Structure 1
Amino acid sequence: SGAGLVLTSPDGWTLEYALRFIFKTTNNEAEWEALIAGLTIAKHLEIQKIEAFSDSQLVVGLANGEYEAREDSMAKYLSYFQSLKSAFEVLRVLKVPRAENARADQLSKLGTAEELEKNKTVIVDYLDVPTIFEVDVMDIDIPQEPIWMTPFINWLRNGILPEDPAEARKLVYRSNRFQLRDGILYKRSFSFPWLRCLTPFEVDYALKKVHEGICGNHTRGRTLSHKLLRQGYFWPTMYQDAIDLVRKCDKC
Protein backbone atom coordinates (compact mmCIF):
# COMPACT_ATOMS: atom_id res chain seq x y z
CA SER A 1 0.00 0.00 0.00
CA GLY A 2 1.03 3.61 -0.29
CA ALA A 3 0.15 7.28 -0.28
CA GLY A 4 1.01 10.25 -2.44
CA LEU A 5 1.55 13.92 -1.82
CA VAL A 6 2.15 16.95 -4.00
CA LEU A 7 3.74 20.16 -2.67
CA THR A 8 3.11 23.26 -4.76
CA SER A 9 4.51 26.74 -4.10
CA PRO A 10 2.61 29.96 -4.97
CA ASP A 11 4.86 30.44 -8.01
CA GLY A 12 4.14 26.95 -9.35
CA TRP A 13 7.16 24.99 -8.09
CA THR A 14 6.08 21.38 -7.49
CA LEU A 15 7.51 18.47 -5.52
CA GLU A 16 5.95 15.01 -5.79
CA TYR A 17 6.33 12.23 -3.24
CA ALA A 18 5.24 8.60 -3.31
CA LEU A 19 5.17 6.84 0.06
CA ARG A 20 5.35 3.05 0.14
CA PHE A 21 4.33 1.32 3.37
CA ILE A 22 6.05 -1.89 4.51
CA PHE A 23 3.23 -2.39 6.99
CA LYS A 24 -0.54 -2.75 6.91
CA THR A 25 -2.46 0.51 7.01
CA THR A 26 -6.03 1.75 6.66
CA ASN A 27 -7.02 4.49 4.22
CA ASN A 28 -7.24 7.07 7.00
CA GLU A 29 -3.85 6.07 8.41
CA ALA A 30 -2.35 6.43 4.92
CA GLU A 31 -3.89 9.91 4.67
CA TRP A 32 -2.32 10.85 8.01
CA GLU A 33 1.07 9.57 6.86
CA ALA A 34 0.85 11.69 3.70
CA LEU A 35 -0.22 14.79 5.65
CA ILE A 36 2.53 14.39 8.24
CA ALA A 37 5.16 13.72 5.57
CA GLY A 38 4.14 16.87 3.69
CA LEU A 39 4.22 19.02 6.81
CA THR A 40 7.61 17.59 7.82
CA ILE A 41 9.05 18.49 4.42
CA ALA A 42 7.54 21.97 4.62
CA LYS A 43 9.03 22.40 8.09
CA HIS A 44 12.49 21.47 6.80
CA LEU A 45 12.06 24.01 3.99
CA GLU A 46 11.19 26.61 6.67
CA ILE A 47 7.81 27.32 5.09
CA GLN A 48 5.69 29.44 7.44
CA LYS A 49 2.28 29.47 5.74
CA ILE A 50 0.75 26.35 4.28
CA GLU A 51 -2.59 24.93 3.16
CA ALA A 52 -2.88 21.15 3.27
CA PHE A 53 -5.56 19.27 1.35
CA SER A 54 -6.88 15.77 2.05
CA ASP A 55 -9.81 13.78 0.70
CA SER A 56 -10.31 12.07 4.07
CA GLN A 57 -13.22 13.64 5.95
CA LEU A 58 -12.05 12.03 9.19
CA VAL A 59 -8.47 13.28 8.97
CA VAL A 60 -9.58 16.82 8.10
CA GLY A 61 -12.19 16.79 10.87
CA LEU A 62 -9.68 15.59 13.46
CA ALA A 63 -7.04 18.10 12.35
CA ASN A 64 -9.52 20.96 12.67
CA GLY A 65 -10.89 19.84 16.03
CA GLU A 66 -14.30 19.02 14.59
CA TYR A 67 -14.11 15.31 15.40
CA GLU A 68 -12.96 13.37 18.43
CA ALA A 69 -10.33 10.66 18.01
CA ARG A 70 -11.93 7.41 19.11
CA GLU A 71 -9.30 4.97 17.88
CA ASP A 72 -5.89 4.77 19.50
CA SER A 73 -4.06 5.14 16.18
CA MET A 74 -6.09 8.22 15.23
CA ALA A 75 -5.34 9.80 18.62
CA LYS A 76 -1.61 9.18 18.14
CA TYR A 77 -1.63 10.63 14.62
CA LEU A 78 -3.55 13.66 15.87
CA SER A 79 -1.03 14.19 18.67
CA TYR A 80 1.86 13.95 16.18
CA PHE A 81 0.11 16.43 13.89
CA GLN A 82 -0.44 18.88 16.74
CA SER A 83 3.26 18.71 17.63
CA LEU A 84 4.05 19.90 14.09
CA LYS A 85 1.57 22.78 14.09
CA SER A 86 3.77 25.10 16.13
CA ALA A 87 6.35 25.13 13.32
CA PHE A 88 3.99 27.14 11.10
CA GLU A 89 2.66 30.65 11.33
CA VAL A 90 -0.45 29.62 9.39
CA LEU A 91 -1.63 26.04 8.82
CA ARG A 92 -4.98 25.20 7.24
CA VAL A 93 -6.17 21.65 6.58
CA LEU A 94 -8.95 21.56 4.01
CA LYS A 95 -11.19 18.86 2.54
CA VAL A 96 -10.80 18.28 -1.19
CA PRO A 97 -12.99 16.01 -3.37
CA ARG A 98 -11.24 12.80 -4.44
CA ALA A 99 -11.65 13.84 -8.09
CA GLU A 100 -9.51 16.92 -7.41
CA ASN A 101 -6.89 14.82 -5.65
CA ALA A 102 -6.16 12.63 -8.66
CA ARG A 103 -2.39 13.17 -8.88
CA ALA A 104 -1.82 12.29 -5.23
CA ASP A 105 -3.97 9.20 -5.77
CA GLN A 106 -1.83 8.20 -8.77
CA LEU A 107 1.35 8.63 -6.72
CA SER A 108 -0.05 6.39 -3.99
CA LYS A 109 -0.27 3.54 -6.50
CA LEU A 110 3.30 3.77 -7.81
CA GLY A 111 5.17 0.67 -6.80
CA THR A 112 6.62 -1.37 -9.62
CA ALA A 113 10.04 -0.67 -11.10
CA GLU A 114 8.40 0.04 -14.47
CA GLU A 115 6.07 2.64 -12.98
CA LEU A 116 8.89 4.32 -11.08
CA GLU A 117 11.04 4.37 -14.23
CA LYS A 118 8.32 6.38 -15.98
CA ASN A 119 8.15 8.84 -13.06
CA LYS A 120 11.82 9.64 -12.47
CA THR A 121 11.03 13.06 -10.97
CA VAL A 122 8.95 11.48 -8.20
CA ILE A 123 10.69 11.02 -4.84
CA VAL A 124 9.90 7.62 -3.36
CA ASP A 125 10.18 6.93 0.36
CA TYR A 126 9.69 3.52 2.00
CA LEU A 127 8.34 3.48 5.56
CA ASP A 128 9.17 0.38 7.63
CA VAL A 129 6.82 1.28 10.48
CA PRO A 130 4.18 3.97 11.05
CA THR A 131 5.32 7.48 11.92
CA ILE A 132 3.55 7.16 15.27
CA PHE A 133 5.72 4.18 16.23
CA GLU A 134 7.63 5.67 19.14
CA VAL A 135 10.71 4.90 21.15
CA ASP A 136 10.17 6.17 24.65
CA VAL A 137 13.69 6.84 25.86
CA MET A 138 13.98 6.00 29.55
CA ASP A 139 14.78 8.62 32.12
CA ILE A 140 18.12 7.41 33.47
CA ASP A 141 20.43 8.99 35.98
CA ILE A 142 23.62 9.49 34.00
CA PRO A 143 26.82 8.67 35.94
CA GLN A 144 29.42 11.36 36.34
CA GLU A 145 32.08 9.60 34.25
CA PRO A 146 32.59 11.19 30.80
CA ILE A 147 30.60 9.86 27.84
CA TRP A 148 30.80 10.78 24.15
CA MET A 149 28.53 13.82 24.65
CA THR A 150 30.50 15.28 27.56
CA PRO A 151 32.94 17.46 25.52
CA PHE A 152 30.07 18.97 23.50
CA ILE A 153 28.02 19.73 26.61
CA ASN A 154 31.03 21.20 28.42
CA TRP A 155 31.71 23.53 25.50
CA LEU A 156 28.13 24.52 24.65
CA ARG A 157 27.00 24.97 28.26
CA ASN A 158 30.12 26.11 30.10
CA GLY A 159 32.56 27.22 27.40
CA ILE A 160 35.10 24.61 28.52
CA LEU A 161 37.44 23.21 25.85
CA PRO A 162 39.96 20.34 25.93
CA GLU A 163 43.47 21.37 26.94
CA ASP A 164 44.95 20.02 23.71
CA PRO A 165 44.75 22.86 21.11
CA ALA A 166 44.13 20.48 18.20
CA GLU A 167 41.31 18.71 20.05
CA ALA A 168 39.85 22.08 21.06
CA ARG A 169 39.76 23.30 17.43
CA LYS A 170 38.19 20.03 16.31
CA LEU A 171 35.52 20.25 19.00
CA VAL A 172 34.60 23.86 18.18
CA TYR A 173 34.25 22.93 14.50
CA ARG A 174 32.13 19.84 15.18
CA SER A 175 29.97 21.69 17.71
CA ASN A 176 28.51 23.79 14.90
CA ARG A 177 26.26 20.82 14.17
CA PHE A 178 25.10 20.41 17.77
CA GLN A 179 22.73 22.38 19.98
CA LEU A 180 21.91 22.22 23.68
CA ARG A 181 18.23 22.78 24.50
CA ASP A 182 16.77 22.37 27.99
CA GLY A 183 19.81 20.35 28.98
CA ILE A 184 19.40 17.91 26.08
CA LEU A 185 21.97 17.64 23.28
CA TYR A 186 20.72 17.60 19.68
CA LYS A 187 22.58 17.08 16.41
CA ARG A 188 21.65 18.85 13.19
CA SER A 189 20.92 16.54 10.26
CA PHE A 190 20.68 17.29 6.55
CA SER A 191 17.90 14.79 5.84
CA PHE A 192 16.04 14.71 9.17
CA PRO A 193 14.98 17.14 11.90
CA TRP A 194 17.23 17.81 14.91
CA LEU A 195 18.30 14.42 16.29
CA ARG A 196 18.22 13.75 20.02
CA CYS A 197 21.60 12.48 21.16
CA LEU A 198 21.44 9.32 23.25
CA THR A 199 23.67 8.30 26.11
CA PRO A 200 25.20 4.80 26.13
CA PHE A 201 22.62 3.93 28.77
CA GLU A 202 19.75 4.83 26.42
CA VAL A 203 21.24 3.28 23.27
CA ASP A 204 20.59 -0.35 24.19
CA TYR A 205 16.95 0.38 25.01
CA ALA A 206 16.34 2.36 21.81
CA LEU A 207 18.00 -0.29 19.62
CA LYS A 208 15.94 -3.12 21.08
CA LYS A 209 12.69 -1.15 21.05
CA VAL A 210 12.92 -0.20 17.36
CA HIS A 211 14.29 -3.60 16.36
CA GLU A 212 11.40 -5.40 18.04
CA GLY A 213 9.01 -3.38 15.92
CA ILE A 214 10.59 -4.21 12.56
CA CYS A 215 12.59 -7.46 12.89
CA GLY A 216 9.64 -9.39 11.46
CA ASN A 217 10.62 -7.88 8.10
CA HIS A 218 14.07 -9.54 8.36
CA THR A 219 15.66 -6.13 8.17
CA ARG A 220 19.34 -5.29 7.81
CA GLY A 221 21.52 -3.18 10.05
CA ARG A 222 21.40 -0.28 7.60
CA THR A 223 17.59 -0.28 7.70
CA LEU A 224 17.58 -0.37 11.49
CA SER A 225 19.99 2.55 11.80
CA HIS A 226 17.98 4.51 9.21
CA LYS A 227 14.81 3.87 11.20
CA LEU A 228 16.48 5.17 14.36
CA LEU A 229 17.39 8.33 12.46
CA ARG A 230 13.78 8.66 11.29
CA GLN A 231 12.70 8.38 14.92
CA GLY A 232 14.99 11.32 15.70
CA TYR A 233 17.89 9.69 17.54
CA PHE A 234 21.68 9.81 17.15
CA TRP A 235 24.88 8.44 18.63
CA PRO A 236 28.25 8.06 16.89
CA THR A 237 28.31 4.25 16.60
CA MET A 238 24.65 3.70 15.74
CA TYR A 239 25.31 2.07 12.34
CA GLN A 240 27.75 -0.51 13.69
CA ASP A 241 25.61 -1.11 16.78
CA ALA A 242 22.59 -1.77 14.54
CA ILE A 243 24.58 -4.25 12.43
CA ASP A 244 25.78 -6.07 15.55
CA LEU A 245 22.23 -6.38 16.92
CA VAL A 246 20.81 -7.70 13.63
CA ARG A 247 23.58 -10.31 13.41
CA LYS A 248 22.57 -11.64 16.82
CA CYS A 249 18.86 -11.85 15.91
CA ASP A 250 17.69 -15.32 14.81
CA LYS A 251 14.67 -13.86 12.97
CA CYS A 252 16.88 -11.55 10.88
Structure 2
Amino acid sequence: MNRLPMFRCVLMCQLLASLMLGWNCHAEDTDQLPLILAHRGGAHEYEENTMEGFQACYERGIRGFETDIRMTKDGVLVLLHDDSLDRTHDASGPVEEMLASELNSVRTKKGQSFLLLEDFLQYFQDKPGVYLELEMKTKNKALYPDARVSEYCQKLHALAKQYKPAGSDYLFTSFDERPLVTMRQLDADWPTAIIASQPLSDEFIERAKRLQATHIACRITGTSRDMVKKAQELGYKINGWPGHRVEDYYLAIGLGLDVACTDIPTVIQKTKESLPTETNP
Protein backbone atom coordinates (compact mmCIF):
# COMPACT_ATOMS: atom_id res chain seq x y z
CA MET A 1 0.00 0.00 0.00
CA ASN A 2 2.82 2.44 0.76
CA ARG A 3 3.88 2.31 -2.88
CA LEU A 4 0.61 3.85 -4.01
CA PRO A 5 0.27 7.62 -4.23
CA MET A 6 -1.50 9.02 -1.22
CA PHE A 7 -4.45 10.21 -3.32
CA ARG A 8 -4.95 6.67 -4.66
CA CYS A 9 -4.96 5.33 -1.12
CA VAL A 10 -7.64 7.81 -0.14
CA LEU A 11 -9.75 6.75 -3.11
CA MET A 12 -9.51 3.09 -2.14
CA CYS A 13 -10.47 3.88 1.45
CA GLN A 14 -13.48 5.80 0.25
CA LEU A 15 -14.51 2.90 -2.00
CA LEU A 16 -14.31 0.50 0.93
CA ALA A 17 -16.46 2.86 2.96
CA SER A 18 -19.00 2.91 0.16
CA LEU A 19 -19.08 -0.88 0.05
CA MET A 20 -19.66 -0.99 3.80
CA LEU A 21 -22.70 1.23 3.25
CA GLY A 22 -24.09 -1.39 0.93
CA TRP A 23 -22.92 -0.37 -2.55
CA ASN A 24 -22.22 -3.51 -4.56
CA CYS A 25 -21.45 -2.99 -8.23
CA HIS A 26 -18.67 -3.14 -10.77
CA ALA A 27 -17.10 0.25 -11.35
CA GLU A 28 -16.63 -0.46 -15.04
CA ASP A 29 -20.40 -0.05 -15.35
CA THR A 30 -20.17 3.68 -14.68
CA ASP A 31 -23.86 4.16 -15.46
CA GLN A 32 -24.48 2.74 -11.97
CA LEU A 33 -22.55 5.61 -10.40
CA PRO A 34 -24.31 8.92 -9.67
CA LEU A 35 -24.46 11.33 -12.58
CA ILE A 36 -22.08 14.25 -12.06
CA LEU A 37 -24.14 17.45 -12.08
CA ALA A 38 -22.13 20.65 -12.64
CA HIS A 39 -23.75 23.05 -10.17
CA ARG A 40 -24.02 26.47 -11.85
CA GLY A 41 -21.58 25.12 -14.43
CA GLY A 42 -18.92 24.27 -11.82
CA ALA A 43 -19.11 27.23 -9.44
CA HIS A 44 -15.84 26.49 -7.62
CA GLU A 45 -13.88 25.91 -10.83
CA TYR A 46 -15.27 28.61 -13.12
CA GLU A 47 -17.32 31.77 -12.78
CA GLU A 48 -20.81 30.51 -12.06
CA ASN A 49 -23.53 30.45 -14.71
CA THR A 50 -21.18 31.49 -17.53
CA MET A 51 -20.72 30.01 -20.95
CA GLU A 52 -17.05 29.47 -20.12
CA GLY A 53 -17.96 27.10 -17.30
CA PHE A 54 -20.65 25.16 -19.14
CA GLN A 55 -18.54 24.75 -22.26
CA ALA A 56 -15.39 23.76 -20.38
CA CYS A 57 -17.29 21.12 -18.38
CA TYR A 58 -18.95 19.72 -21.49
CA GLU A 59 -15.63 19.48 -23.33
CA ARG A 60 -14.20 17.56 -20.37
CA GLY A 61 -16.95 14.95 -20.55
CA ILE A 62 -19.49 16.29 -18.07
CA ARG A 63 -23.07 15.66 -19.21
CA GLY A 64 -25.09 16.97 -16.26
CA PHE A 65 -25.61 20.70 -15.70
CA GLU A 66 -27.59 22.83 -13.24
CA THR A 67 -28.38 26.51 -13.67
CA ASP A 68 -30.63 29.23 -12.25
CA ILE A 69 -33.34 31.03 -14.23
CA ARG A 70 -34.67 34.53 -13.58
CA MET A 71 -36.73 36.98 -15.65
CA THR A 72 -36.01 40.60 -16.53
CA LYS A 73 -38.48 43.45 -16.22
CA ASP A 74 -39.43 43.02 -19.88
CA GLY A 75 -39.87 39.26 -19.66
CA VAL A 76 -36.54 37.87 -20.93
CA LEU A 77 -35.23 34.76 -19.14
CA VAL A 78 -31.62 34.94 -17.95
CA LEU A 79 -29.12 32.96 -15.88
CA LEU A 80 -28.49 34.31 -12.38
CA HIS A 81 -28.57 32.76 -8.93
CA ASP A 82 -28.87 35.68 -6.50
CA ASP A 83 -31.66 38.18 -5.90
CA SER A 84 -29.18 40.87 -6.99
CA LEU A 85 -26.26 41.25 -9.39
CA ASP A 86 -23.88 42.58 -6.74
CA ARG A 87 -21.92 39.42 -5.85
CA THR A 88 -21.25 38.08 -9.33
CA HIS A 89 -21.38 41.04 -11.74
CA ASP A 90 -20.24 44.64 -12.17
CA ALA A 91 -23.78 45.92 -11.64
CA SER A 92 -26.16 46.02 -8.69
CA GLY A 93 -29.78 45.38 -7.84
CA PRO A 94 -32.28 42.75 -8.97
CA VAL A 95 -32.18 41.68 -12.61
CA GLU A 96 -35.98 41.63 -12.37
CA GLU A 97 -35.90 45.44 -12.28
CA MET A 98 -33.75 45.76 -15.40
CA LEU A 99 -34.52 45.61 -19.11
CA ALA A 100 -32.78 42.90 -21.13
CA SER A 101 -31.10 45.58 -23.26
CA GLU A 102 -29.43 46.99 -20.13
CA LEU A 103 -27.67 43.66 -19.60
CA ASN A 104 -25.71 44.05 -22.82
CA SER A 105 -23.12 46.11 -20.95
CA VAL A 106 -23.14 44.04 -17.75
CA ARG A 107 -20.13 41.78 -17.18
CA THR A 108 -19.10 39.23 -14.59
CA LYS A 109 -16.38 40.17 -12.13
CA LYS A 110 -13.84 38.70 -14.58
CA GLY A 111 -15.32 40.34 -17.64
CA GLN A 112 -17.59 37.69 -19.15
CA SER A 113 -20.86 38.55 -20.87
CA PHE A 114 -24.16 38.17 -19.08
CA LEU A 115 -25.78 34.90 -20.20
CA LEU A 116 -29.34 34.69 -21.51
CA LEU A 117 -31.28 31.44 -21.18
CA GLU A 118 -31.85 31.24 -24.93
CA ASP A 119 -28.10 31.39 -25.64
CA PHE A 120 -27.51 28.69 -23.02
CA LEU A 121 -30.15 26.40 -24.52
CA GLN A 122 -28.87 27.02 -28.06
CA TYR A 123 -25.42 25.79 -26.98
CA PHE A 124 -26.89 22.42 -25.94
CA GLN A 125 -29.36 22.17 -28.82
CA ASP A 126 -27.02 19.99 -30.93
CA LYS A 127 -25.73 17.97 -27.94
CA PRO A 128 -28.09 15.05 -27.23
CA GLY A 129 -27.60 12.98 -24.12
CA VAL A 130 -27.34 15.95 -21.79
CA TYR A 131 -29.15 16.23 -18.45
CA LEU A 132 -30.13 19.81 -17.54
CA GLU A 133 -31.68 21.01 -14.31
CA LEU A 134 -33.32 24.40 -14.85
CA GLU A 135 -33.90 25.85 -11.40
CA MET A 136 -36.76 28.32 -11.22
CA LYS A 137 -35.60 31.12 -8.88
CA THR A 138 -39.03 32.53 -8.06
CA LYS A 139 -39.15 32.10 -4.29
CA ASN A 140 -38.93 35.85 -3.58
CA LYS A 141 -42.61 36.80 -3.83
CA ALA A 142 -41.81 40.50 -3.95
CA LEU A 143 -40.00 39.90 -7.25
CA TYR A 144 -42.34 37.10 -8.40
CA PRO A 145 -45.98 37.58 -7.45
CA ASP A 146 -48.29 34.81 -8.63
CA ALA A 147 -49.18 36.47 -11.95
CA ARG A 148 -45.49 36.88 -12.81
CA VAL A 149 -44.80 33.22 -11.95
CA SER A 150 -47.39 32.20 -14.55
CA GLU A 151 -45.75 34.34 -17.26
CA TYR A 152 -42.31 33.05 -16.24
CA CYS A 153 -43.36 29.40 -16.46
CA GLN A 154 -45.02 29.76 -19.84
CA LYS A 155 -41.89 31.33 -21.31
CA LEU A 156 -39.53 28.82 -19.71
CA HIS A 157 -41.57 25.84 -20.85
CA ALA A 158 -41.76 27.18 -24.40
CA LEU A 159 -38.00 27.80 -24.67
CA ALA A 160 -37.02 24.46 -23.13
CA LYS A 161 -39.42 22.61 -25.43
CA GLN A 162 -38.12 24.52 -28.47
CA TYR A 163 -34.43 23.81 -27.89
CA LYS A 164 -34.39 20.43 -26.12
CA PRO A 165 -32.74 17.83 -28.38
CA ALA A 166 -34.05 14.27 -28.59
CA GLY A 167 -32.28 11.99 -26.15
CA SER A 168 -31.71 14.65 -23.49
CA ASP A 169 -33.36 15.06 -20.09
CA TYR A 170 -34.39 18.58 -19.08
CA LEU A 171 -35.89 19.14 -15.61
CA PHE A 172 -37.74 22.08 -14.10
CA THR A 173 -36.69 22.36 -10.45
CA SER A 174 -37.43 24.74 -7.59
CA PHE A 175 -37.57 25.41 -3.86
CA ASP A 176 -40.79 27.29 -4.65
CA GLU A 177 -43.89 25.13 -5.03
CA ARG A 178 -45.76 27.66 -7.18
CA PRO A 179 -43.80 27.17 -10.44
CA LEU A 180 -43.80 23.40 -9.95
CA VAL A 181 -47.60 23.42 -9.75
CA THR A 182 -47.82 25.70 -12.78
CA MET A 183 -45.43 23.58 -14.83
CA ARG A 184 -47.42 20.45 -14.06
CA GLN A 185 -50.55 22.21 -15.29
CA LEU A 186 -48.75 23.25 -18.48
CA ASP A 187 -47.25 19.82 -19.14
CA ALA A 188 -48.37 16.62 -17.43
CA ASP A 189 -45.31 14.67 -18.55
CA TRP A 190 -42.35 17.03 -18.15
CA PRO A 191 -40.07 15.92 -15.27
CA THR A 192 -39.86 18.22 -12.25
CA ALA A 193 -37.94 18.23 -8.97
CA ILE A 194 -38.72 19.72 -5.60
CA ILE A 195 -35.64 21.05 -3.78
CA ALA A 196 -35.33 21.59 -0.03
CA SER A 197 -32.48 22.32 2.36
CA GLN A 198 -33.12 19.15 4.32
CA PRO A 199 -32.26 15.46 4.19
CA LEU A 200 -34.59 13.00 2.51
CA SER A 201 -37.50 11.95 4.72
CA ASP A 202 -41.01 10.51 4.56
CA GLU A 203 -42.39 14.04 4.79
CA PHE A 204 -40.20 15.14 1.88
CA ILE A 205 -41.43 12.21 -0.23
CA GLU A 206 -45.06 13.05 0.58
CA ARG A 207 -44.43 16.63 -0.52
CA ALA A 208 -43.04 15.36 -3.84
CA LYS A 209 -46.13 13.18 -4.29
CA ARG A 210 -48.44 16.13 -3.68
CA LEU A 211 -46.59 18.21 -6.28
CA GLN A 212 -46.49 15.30 -8.75
CA ALA A 213 -42.71 15.70 -8.95
CA THR A 214 -40.56 13.02 -10.55
CA HIS A 215 -37.28 13.92 -8.83
CA ILE A 216 -36.24 15.00 -5.33
CA ALA A 217 -33.20 17.16 -4.53
CA CYS A 218 -32.15 16.78 -0.89
CA ARG A 219 -29.17 17.56 1.29
CA ILE A 220 -26.77 14.63 1.46
CA THR A 221 -25.95 15.31 5.10
CA GLY A 222 -28.44 13.40 7.21
CA THR A 223 -29.89 11.41 4.30
CA SER A 224 -29.88 7.63 4.82
CA ARG A 225 -29.41 4.88 2.25
CA ASP A 226 -32.65 3.23 3.38
CA MET A 227 -34.62 6.41 2.70
CA VAL A 228 -33.02 6.78 -0.75
CA LYS A 229 -33.95 3.19 -1.60
CA LYS A 230 -37.51 3.77 -0.40
CA ALA A 231 -37.91 6.83 -2.61
CA GLN A 232 -36.37 5.08 -5.60
CA GLU A 233 -38.72 2.12 -5.16
CA LEU A 234 -41.57 4.62 -5.39
CA GLY A 235 -40.16 5.78 -8.72
CA TYR A 236 -38.27 8.92 -7.72
CA LYS A 237 -34.80 9.92 -8.91
CA ILE A 238 -32.74 11.39 -6.07
CA ASN A 239 -30.24 14.24 -6.37
CA GLY A 240 -27.96 14.96 -3.42
CA TRP A 241 -26.37 18.33 -2.69
CA PRO A 242 -24.20 20.23 -1.92
CA GLY A 243 -20.98 18.81 -3.28
CA HIS A 244 -17.83 20.73 -2.44
CA ARG A 245 -15.31 17.91 -1.97
CA VAL A 246 -14.38 14.54 -3.44
CA GLU A 247 -15.66 12.93 -0.24
CA ASP A 248 -19.13 14.24 -1.03
CA TYR A 249 -19.17 12.22 -4.25
CA TYR A 250 -18.17 9.07 -2.39
CA LEU A 251 -21.01 9.69 0.03
CA ALA A 252 -23.34 10.00 -2.98
CA ILE A 253 -22.08 6.61 -4.17
CA GLY A 254 -22.62 5.08 -0.74
CA LEU A 255 -26.15 6.46 -0.51
CA GLY A 256 -26.99 5.10 -3.95
CA LEU A 257 -28.01 8.50 -5.34
CA ASP A 258 -28.96 8.97 -8.99
CA VAL A 259 -27.40 12.43 -9.28
CA ALA A 260 -24.56 14.09 -7.39
CA CYS A 261 -24.64 17.87 -7.53
CA THR A 262 -21.13 19.35 -7.24
CA ASP A 263 -19.27 22.62 -7.57
CA ILE A 264 -16.10 20.77 -8.66
CA PRO A 265 -17.36 18.63 -11.56
CA THR A 266 -14.08 18.18 -13.44
CA VAL A 267 -12.31 17.11 -10.24
CA ILE A 268 -15.07 14.57 -9.63
CA GLN A 269 -14.87 13.42 -13.25
CA LYS A 270 -11.16 12.64 -12.81
CA THR A 271 -11.94 10.84 -9.56
CA LYS A 272 -14.63 8.76 -11.27
CA GLU A 273 -12.25 7.83 -14.09
CA SER A 274 -9.62 6.71 -11.56
CA LEU A 275 -11.90 4.15 -9.90
CA PRO A 276 -10.60 0.57 -10.13
CA THR A 277 -12.21 -1.61 -12.77
CA GLU A 278 -13.26 -4.20 -10.20
CA THR A 279 -14.52 -3.43 -6.70
CA ASN A 280 -15.20 -6.98 -5.57
CA PRO A 281 -12.36 -9.08 -4.13
* Higher fraction of helix: 1
RCO higher in structure (CA 8 A, sep ≥6): 2
Category of TM-score, reference length = shorter chain: under 0.3
When normalised by structure 2's length, the TM-score is 0.25
